[in-house]
Amino acid sequence: MSLHRLYPSADGVLPVYKVAGDFQGMMYFCPDIRFNFSDKKNKGQFLNKSDDELSNELSAHLSGLSTLAYSWLEDKFIKDYWLVITPLLCDRIKNFDKNARLPSKDNNYIVTPFYTDDIEFVKNLYKTIPHSYGSSEAHPDPKRRKGTYAEIGFYLACEVNPEGCEEAIALTSLSVDTKEYRDKLNLILLRLELELGEQATHHIKQQVRVFMQYGSDKLGVRFVEQYFNYKASKKTNGYSLGDGYVRNRMAKVNLDKNEKYAAFPDLFASSGYQFSDYALSKEDLRSLSAAFESDPWIQTSI
């Protein structure tokens, strides 16, 4: 139940990864909230955020993404959306809620249509379960994303609607089996994803981390990490882009290191590993949402 499944290689040396499920047109908003930040006055030192600062940052992401997802669906920019709470939190719920009935020993998810009550539920999880936020400190394992303790405790998954773009009319005259169609579709998806990311960072007034589909690779689909930052001093092709794959491509900078933002063509050279572990396909999102709706193993309403 992840973006890539592991298979033995023919030569028995390195494992082979293959995409499992339908990820076409998917976009994932994965807040990167950290409990500390680098002290600019003392190199190598870190200062902790207050509980109120963390709570406000978390609330801004949850409330903002909830509002935006609903309006995007109404405006037909997306076809559907889900709130996903990942195993980072779900697998530890039993330690703090004895009434919870975890479906399995590990790799548990909560997937919902993102009800209003879910906002307070997620906030309470972060209050209850320690060490749920990421850290800005360097991680000794270079395969970790950008070398830090970034975490994905929850995310908003959106199925982007290509027909929400005026340029989509050009697709009607093309056969879906042609390279021309695929190339045009990828350009439309990229434009929509950039527009949604731009709206998100300016609405939430926070830096927004997104994993967005960007063409394909040898595995059949490619997701890349891109930050949107409303405080960006200079826009890139009209978008408020921070660190990330798309910005580097558009601005033609750091191209030699750009693969670190891809999730992920090679487990042993990538840093997007956690997203690839937690990203759910359309099939998984729908089945897990339906299962939790019919038999919730923990009470989410407050």
Q: For residue 246, what are the contacts with CB-CB under 8 A and spacing of at least 6? A: 190, 194, 212, 214, 224, 226
**pTM of full prediction above 0.85:** yes
Q: For residue 16, what are the contacts with CB-CB under 8 A and spacing of at least 6? A: 6, 7, 8, 9
Whether residue 160 lies inside any domain: the answer is yes
Whether residue 206 lies inside any domain: the answer is yes
Whether residue 235 lies inside any domain: the answer is no
Whether residue 237 lies inside any domain: the answer is no
CB 159 within 8 A of CB 25: yes
**pLDDT number for residue 98:** 84
Mean pLDDT by 10 residues, the chain (302 residues): 64 67 92 93 92 97 98 96 96 90 94 96 95 86 64 96 82 85 88 97 97 76 90 96 94 88 60 77 96 92 60
Whether residue 290 lies inside any domain: the answer is yes
**Residue range(s) defining the domain that contains residue 185:** 22-221+265-294
Q: Which residue has the tokens 């190339």?
A: 183
Other beta carbons within 10 angstroms of residue 103's beta carbon come to 13
Number of domains in the chain: 1
Q: pLDDT tens digit string along 42-90?
A: 988 999 999 999 999 999 999 999 999 999 999 999 999 999 999 999 9
Whether residue 209 lies inside any domain: the answer is yes
Whether residue 9 lies inside any domain: the answer is no
**pLDDT number for residue 82:** 98
**pLDDT number for residue 48:** 96
CB 245 within 8 A of CB 224: yes
CA angle 76, 80, 83 (to 5 degrees): 130
Distance of CA 81 to the CA centre of its chain: 12
Q: Return d(Cα 210, Cα 194) in angstroms, integer.
A: 10
CB 159 within 8 A of CB 79: yes
Whether residue 241 lies inside any domain: the answer is no
Q: Which residue has the tokens 């902790």?
A: 48
